[in-house]
Amino acid sequence: MKAPFLIVETGQPALRLRRYGRFPHWIRVAAGLEASEAVVVNVERGDALPRREGFAGVIVTGSAAMVTDKADWSERSADWLRDAAHEGMSLLGICYGHQLLAHALGGEVADNPAGRESGTVRIDLHPPAQEDPLFSSMPLTFAAHSTHVQTVLRPPEGATVLARSEQDGCHAFRWRDRAWGVQFHPEFATHHMRGYVAFRGEELKKAGRCPTTIARDVTAAPQARKLLRRFVKHARGLHAR
């Protein structure tokens, strides 16, 4: 049997989107993982994280929580991720997971001075991405789905920033050679993204943005979605060594 991936569940989708399942299901489908190839631990609910041995890699979900609140479950997860990163586990943090991994490794997370980012955004790769195992085969500019108000203001020491958007200077980073964080959501399909725009509609209006226009401009993001399968393939290759 293939070694499973651990999916660390840090939150739940917006209520109107729960008919599509929980974040681990969205991630597993996009990553091409069978149910038997994933172990889900809901740390927000208080589940204990398991021993690290035996997993091919770890994927940390998004959440409506704020890393800066430093909730007990979040800080315990950060400690676990810090140890896992230093032990050389293959890690991928998504949105909240991206910020939590940066925080765990000594980076700084805070509200984005540019405000809430929502919708299908343009991601621009930095030159180091051309040598990165996950990003090297991607175009220099691609579409991705994003919904967040906090950001990685300062990446961890030793991290390489791989991508940015107009509103966020750290949309992806790699720490050493086996830990990645991405602010965008590679697991989102267009219906997920439009649902989140609708869910955050009043907040977007208060920020002077038009949710109708943002929703209309949502498009498919196939290059971003492929990132999960690349991570799975790369992590399996490393685990087999």
Domains with residue ranges and CATH for the chain: 5-239 (3.40.50.880)
Return the pLDDT at 1.
76
pTM more than 0.95: yes
Return the pLDDT at 240.
86
The DSSP output letter for 229 is H
For residues 198 and 193, what is the distance between their CA atoms, to the nearest angstrom? 9
In this prediction, the residues of the chain whose per-residue pLDDT falls under 70 are none
**Cβ burial 9-36 (10 Å sphere, 16+ → b, else e):** bbbbbeeebeeeebbbbbbbebbebeee
Return the pLDDT at 13.
98
Return the pLDDT at 241.
82
Residues with a catalytic annotation lie at: 95, 185, 187
1: exposed, middle or buried (Cβ count in 10 Å: 0-12, 13-18, 19+): exposed
Residue type, 164: R
**Residues ≥6 apart with Cβ < 8 Å to 107:** 152, 153, 154, 155, 156, 159
Tokens of 110: 């805070």
User: pLDDT for 41-91, tens place per residue?
Assistant: 999 999 999 999 999 999 999 999 999 999 999 999 999 999 999 999 999
Using the Cα atoms of residue 215, residue 15, residue 224 and residue 190 in order, give the sign of their dihedral.
negative
